[in-house]
Amino acid sequence: MSTEKKIYTLSQLTTSLENFILKHFGMTHYWVVAEIAKINQKGGHYYLELADSENGRTTSQISATIWASAYRGMREQMGEDLKAILQPGNKVLFQMRIEYHKIYGLKLNVLDVDPSFSHGEIERKKQETIEKLKKEGLFHQQKELYLPVLSKRIALIGSPGTSGYRDFMNELLKNKIYRNFKVKEFPASVQGDKAATELIEALKEARQYDVDVIVMVRGGGSKMDLNVFNDYELSKEICLTEVPVVVGIGHETDEVVADLVCRQRCITPTAAAKFLYLQIGVFSGELQKSFDALLNLSLGMLSGRKDEFNHLNKYLLHFSKQLVLESLVELNEESHRLQMRFMDLIHSENAQLDLQLNKIARQAVHRLNMEKESELPNKLELIQRMSVNHLQQKQLELKGLEDLLSMLDPKRLLENGYTISTIEDVDLYEISTNLLGKEMKTLTTHSLITSKITDTQKK
């Protein structure tokens, strides 16, 4: 026996579901912790994708909505913190109501946000970051760097146009202690979801330059605004930077991880600028103090040495006179002895020289006689032969030159039928100007012909 099927329309089913949820959940508010996976804004309304996870695996996911009216109410209570809380990746404690719409389906309607939970979550993540950096051995790495006392070349990271950025530059360049700084600017956002990425990129770029110190500034903000400086990747990059990093964030009580890992923490951008020029000012003061002490010590020592010098000068003057007199006597005696020895040496050398000269003279006369008898006739005969050959060669050369001159004689050239043409007594081949109308003289062997040039042709 078959049972008749009970059939519903989709509208009947969704209406029944809507009534059930409204009856059992509609008037109840729930406080729910969830992570924001996505968030979009349209027409003043905010549309969220919420998720929960365990061991890195998503265990649940659902859509939620913050209507514009609810957002305005929360904004009035929390101010700019609300925008910082509603960021992808943040875990947030929401007050919400479960709603079902026949067309849009099941959604969560967000009514409120508990900022204290987010603050606690910030502190929890901050501690996780600190422990992770310590475990990796990076936490104290910046503290081991030497921070130059004269930090004059500065890489500045921050958001130009903000009050903190302006405060730093004004304090650094308008103080009365020291202003000769060279600042290389690296713009980066200091709030919003892109801030951490831009700060990391600016830090990586800044440490490629030859600078003494890198300064990172922001002009204050709430706990949520400053949360970017708790970012693990940003804090790690600060630790890995081999240039000292000075962090100047406008806060006094809320420490961020960047404060803890940097080389020098300052409570404001203005304080960071003061730290840099006061270092130089203190060093300059200590240097001047040491110079003054050294000068006074030197003057005291010089005064004492002056008296000692005057006493020694008088003693040396008396002793020197006595020493000079004694030396003069010894010098005269030694001079007389040297003169006597010198005269003896001269007489001895003269005698030796006479003997050598006599010996050389005898040898020279003997050699001349030998050459006269044997070598001289041969050399005379050789000179005669060479002279005759040289004269014959020169005669041949002269004969050749005479023949050449005879061949080049102008008369002979004319007799052979050649002519010589000139214009104004200049050889025709030396003239490069226009020849038309010129008077040309042509010399032949028997006459001088005068003609006028009416046409020329180049060959």
- pLDDT of 60-76, one tens digit each? 888 888 888 888 888 88
- Close Cβ partners of 35 (under 8 Å, ≥ 6 residues apart): 50, 51, 52, 53, 89, 90, 91, 92
CA distance 420 to 427: 8
How big, in percent rounded to 5, are the helix, strand and coil portions of the chain? 55, 20, 25
Statement to judge: residues 15 and 70 lie in one domain: yes
Q: What is the span of the domain harbouring residue 417?
A: 412-452
Cβ atoms of residues 224 and 117 within 8 Å: no
| Amino acid (1-letter code) at residue 150 | L
- State the average pLDDT for the chain: 83
- Check residue 222 and give its pLDDT: 66
CA distance 332 to 55: 112
Reported as a single tens digit per residue, the pLDDT across 271-287 is 999 999 999 988 887 88
Statement to judge: residues 64 and 130 lie in one domain: no
Higher confidence at residue 160 or residue 364? 160
Statement to judge: residues 75 and 149 lie in one domain: no
| CATH code for the domain of 152 | 3.40.50.10550
Residue 376 forms part of a structural domain: no
Nearest to residue 145, comparing CAs of 278, 271, 262, 266?
262
**Which of 218, 252, 281 corresponds to the end of one domain?**
281
Statement to judge: residues 78 and 158 lie in one domain: no
Indicate the range of 176-180, 238-242, 326-330 predicted with least confidence.
326-330
Statement to judge: residues 252 and 186 lie in one domain: yes
Task: Count Cβ atoms below 10 Å from residue 305 Cβ, excluding itself.
Answer: 10
Residue 407 forms part of a structural domain: no
- Region class of 123: left (phi > 0), else alpha (psi between -120 and 50), else beta: alpha
Statement to judge: residues 43 and 172 lie in one domain: no
Statement to judge: residues 33 and 75 lie in one domain: yes
Cβ atoms of residues 167 and 270 within 8 Å: yes
- Close Cβ partners of 60 (under 8 Å, ≥ 6 residues apart): 51, 52
| CATH code for the domain of 95 | 2.40.50.140
CA distance 262 to 216: 10
Statement to judge: residues 183 and 260 lie in one domain: yes
- Check residue 312 and give its pLDDT: 81
- Close Cβ partners of 39 (under 8 Å, ≥ 6 residues apart): 46, 47, 48, 49, 86, 87, 88
pTM of the model: 0.49
| Amino acid (1-letter code) at residue 344 | D
- Rounded to the nearest 5°, which phi and psi values hold at 251? -155, 160
Residue 149 forms part of a structural domain: yes
Task: Count Cβ atoms below 10 Å from residue 63 Cβ, excluding itself.
Answer: 15
- The H-assigned helical ranges of 374-452 are 375-407, 410-415
pLDDT at 1 over 60: no
Q: How confident is the model at residue 119 (pLDDT cuts 50, 70, 90)?
A: low
Statement to judge: residues 132 and 219 lie in one domain: yes
Cβ atoms of residues 449 and 440 within 8 Å: no
CA distance 431 to 441: 14
Residue that has been written with the tokens 């007389």 in this structure: 336
Radius of gyration of the chain (CA): 57
Higher confidence at residue 372 or residue 99? 99
Geometric angle at alpha carbon 26, from 24 and 32, rounded to 5°: 95
Statement to judge: residues 216 and 253 lie in one domain: yes
CA distance 229 to 16: 50
Statement to judge: residues 96 and 139 lie in one domain: no
**Which of 281, 305, 321 corresponds to the end of one domain?**
281
Return the structure tokens found at 39. Answer: 């968030």
Question: Domain tally for the chain?
Answer: 3
Cβ atoms of residues 293 and 269 within 8 Å: no
**Which of 256, 281, 306 corresponds to the end of one domain?**
281
Residue 141 forms part of a structural domain: yes
Reported as a single tens digit per residue, the pLDDT across 181-239 is 999 999 998 877 788 899 999 999 998 999 999 999 987 666 666 777 888 899 999 99
Residue 310 forms part of a structural domain: no
Residue 377 forms part of a structural domain: no
Statement to judge: residues 261 and 233 lie in one domain: yes
Residue 317 forms part of a structural domain: no
- Check residue 118 and give its pLDDT: 65
- State the average pLDDT over residues 301-326: 81
| Amino acid (1-letter code) at residue 119 | H
Residue 176 forms part of a structural domain: yes
